[in-house]
A = this chain, B = another copy of it.
Amino acid sequence: MTVSRTAEKSSEKPADAGKGRKDAGEVQTEALQLGELSEQLGYVLKRAQLKVFENFLRCMASLQLTPAQFSVLLLVEKNPGRNQTEIASTLGILRPNFVAMLDNLESRDLCARIRSTNDRRSHILVLTDKGKAVLARAKKLVATKHEARLNDLLGQANREALIGMLSKIANEF
C-alpha cells in the first residue's frame, strides 16, 4: 500500500498528518479523512505489519536480531541437519539473498555451515552454542515484551483468533 519506516528513525508519523487544529491563525489545517482506506485490508495489514516489526526490533535491540534473522535461527533450531536451500525456501528467502544473511549470522558465531559428507555441495546449517543461547534469550524477550504487548492490547482469545485468520490468509488466499 504505502507506509514505510525503518524501526525508530525519524519522519512520517502517518494517520495524523494535519494537526486537526491550527496553531496560530493562518489557514485551516483539518485532519485528513482516511475514508474507505481504513477499511482496506491491504492498507491496515501493511500498517500493522510495520508497527509489529518496529516493536520487534525495539524488543530485540539488546540482541541485535531482525525478524528475518530470528526466523532463521528458530527454523534451524527446529530443523537441524538441513541445508541452506531448504531453510531459505521454507522462509521464502531466495538462495542468493540467503548467502549474505548467513555470512552475517556466521560471523557473529550464531550459526555455522557444515559441508555435508553425503553431498559435498550442501551446507548443513546448525546453531552454535552461542546461537542457542542467544535464541533462548530472544524467545524470552519476544514472549515477555513483544507477544505480551499484543495480549494486553487484544486479549489472549483475540490474539489467537488473529493469528489463526492471518495464517489462513497466508495459506489459502
Where the two chains meet, the residues of A that have a C-beta atom closer than 8 Å to any C-beta of B are 1-5, 11-15, 17-18, 27, 32-53, 55-56, 67-68, 70-72, 74-75, 77-79, 82, 86-94, 97, 118-119, 139, 142, 146-147, 149-150, 153-154, 158-159, 161-163, 165-173
Residues of B within 8 A of A49 (CB): 42, 45-46, 49
Instruction: Give bound CA distance, A48 to B172, whole Å.
Output: 10
* A4-B92, A37-B75, A163-B41 known; A82+B12 contact, CB < 8 A: no
Residues of B within 8 A of A89 (CB): 12-14, 17
| Contact status A12-B162, CB under 8 Å | no
Closest CB in chain B relative to A91 CB, distance in Å: 4
Chain A at the B interface: mostly helix, strand, loop or mixed?
A: helix
Q: How many copies does the complex hold?
A: 2
| Contact status A52-B169, CB under 8 Å | yes
Instruction: Give bound CA distance, A92 to B98, whole Å.
Output: 29
From B14, B70, B173, give the contact of A52 (CB < 8 A): B173
| Contact status A150-B169, CB under 8 Å | yes
| Contact status B169-A33, CB under 8 Å | no
Residues of B within 8 A of A170 (CB): 15, 44, 47-48, 50-51
Closest CB in chain B relative to A54 CB, distance in Å: 8
| Contact status A94-B150, CB under 8 Å | no
Closest CB in chain B relative to A65 CB, distance in Å: 11
